[in-house]
Chain A
């Protein structure tokens, strides 16, 4: 066969007929993509250490070491930060905080990190997500006491299990935000050529070829 074998038409529809239920994310049923299902939640494994990672996931030792380092880096960047050791310890417990690399803030020790094993392609040794650090909240009498949470404060469940359901965004890398100083530095040639009154008479034709 010289053509695409299967196209999932429901995923290609831009206007969904009312008889169709939720679209499926996949447009092409390629076998290797079968790991990515629909829905917005995913199961992740919580690992406390490199050893824990090796024994409880499909990751190799090398991959677990990378994962641990990346999670630490992420914690440094996005983890909860406090102005005093006391305020940090009041939430995460005594001896549970350290100063960040700049030395000006206090942050809790990372209790571990989460990985979604389905995002790991063993044959290519490639992980398609981010390693999000996890913290163990410890304020006595708080309803979140002994809860595992992400940097942004999202609770993922009580400490003690190692599988949790979290939203898909929890393992997607965080985008970098900056301050834009100007806009509109691209597009001038196209607009100059389209004001020319010849072939490109339409507004619906573009700049491809």
Chain B
């Protein structure tokens, strides 16, 4: 695993505009960064990332199976009791999942360590599935990269195939895509998934989360008053369950992507639950609930993370009992978990995080985020990668 500098493609910004990639630069700061790339060996990809990704996913499913059947666990996960049945039913039904992203700290030598599972509303999928694919293609075509260079990225192909399967499982329904207003990044992400669904022949429509309505029978509706029967929402389950229309969840006939049982996995309580069920697994970091802190006495340093949080918000580090805030944010009301401190590896001056994607239960590629700070946040830069050797 190496970080290598490379010349940026001439006028790539123009190309980005052509393909509708609008958020490559935000607030004057680089988000898509092609001044460098990471190089992996096939062995690193297959043994250190692909295989553990699929294995951890299976372990996560075992956690879901344990949690949905046990009120004590559901309580530990701070899932709202009025939604337990909704979550459990979706699991027992086998409601299919589309995708998720596991975040790893990996340095190319030691086992990748799982930071968290973005199982409900993972983003940066367009940059991963399409834009970095195009970057490789252009650089190989332009003679800047070795012809034999590959990339761990079959995301787009797998998404299209998965949408085809989902349509078979959900026949004769229109798939409504939804995200919040005023976010270019989310709208871009949803548009990309819509393009993939369209390619699979799915009948698609779009509605903003804020525009969703309800009829007298509790059916959700779009702005054309069409009943929503199948929905992809880039909006966290824990928000939806807590909001006014949360009362209708489970009462109307809607298939959800991601399914409600993903609320168990996007929750940081997953980390101590995994550690409890699979102690000392090489890809896990020791993690604890607040009431298990006595077990963490051996660790000189712990990272404190809110149960519900997005994009690295509200993280602090505890060293010898002293807490230091690493990032601010609006989360933390529901409590925290504690993880043995394991810093991201550094390449040049950058802390590097690997996002490893799954489509259903198959590993489908990686994305790389870099930051000057050890906590990866929403403005961390996205870098492309190649496989060579």
Contact = CB atoms under 8 A, between A and B. Distances in A.
Interface stretch (B14-22, B61-69, B76-84, B334-342): B14-22
B310 A5 contact: no
A28 B160 contact: yes
B65 to A, nearest CB: 24
Most A-side CB within 10 Å, residue of B123, B198, B240, B378: B378
A206 B311 CA distance: 10
B224 interface: yes
Given A12-B130, A128-B201, A202-B27, A186 B185 contact: no
Contacts, number: 232
B156 A27 contact: yes
B251 interface: no
B146 interface: no
B235 A190 contact: yes
Given A2-B152, A2-B387, A179-B215, A189 B185 contact: no
A181 B234 CA distance: 24
Contacts of B168: 121, 124, 126, 128
A196 B330 contact: yes
Nearest to B378: A205
Given A2-B387, A198-B328, A187 B210 contact: yes
Given A179-B216, A181-B216, A207-B183, A3 B310 contact: no
B219 interface: yes
Given A14-B18, A177-B225, A208 B239 contact: no
B183 A187 contact: no
Contacts of B217: 178
A181 B328 contact: no
Nearest to B386: A3
B189 interface: yes
Contacts of A26: 199
Contact of A13 (B19, B179, B208): B19
Interface string B26-57: 11000000000000001001000000000000
Contact of B330 (A129, A181, A193, A208): A193
Contact of A179 (B209, B225, B245): B225
Interface residues of B, number: 94
A119 B296 CA distance: 58
Interface residues of A, number: 61
Interface string B204-244: 00001111111111010100111101000011100110111
A4 B129 contact: yes
Contacts of A183: 211-214
Given A188-B243, A190-B235, A209 B211 contact: no
B136 interface: yes
Nearest to B137: A7
B19 A208 contact: no
B227 A175 contact: yes
Contacts of B379: 205
A49 B225 CA distance: 35
Interface of B: 17-20, 22-23, 26-27, 42, 45, 118, 121-124, 129-130, 133-134, 136, 150-157, 160-161, 164, 167-168, 171-174, 179-187, 189, 195-196, 198-201, 203, 208-217, 219, 221, 224-227, 229, 234-236, 239-240, 242-245, 266, 310-311, 313, 327-331, 365, 377-379, 387
Given A27-B198, A207-B186, 7 more contacts: A13-B19, A14-B18, A25-B199, A200-B330, A208-B118, A208-B186, A209-B123
Interface of A: 1-5, 7, 9, 11-15, 17, 25-28, 30, 32-33, 36, 121, 124, 126-130, 172-173, 175-190, 192-193, 196, 198-209
30 contacts: A2-B45, A3-B154, A7-B134, A11-B199, A12-B19, A12-B195, A27-B199, A30-B161, A33-B160, A33-B201, A130-B172, A175-B174, A175-B226, A178-B219, A178-B221, A184-B211, A185-B243, A186-B235, A186-B240, A186-B244, A193-B331, A198-B313, A198-B329, A199-B328, A203-B182, A204-B23, A207-B186, A208-B186, A209-B121, A209-B266
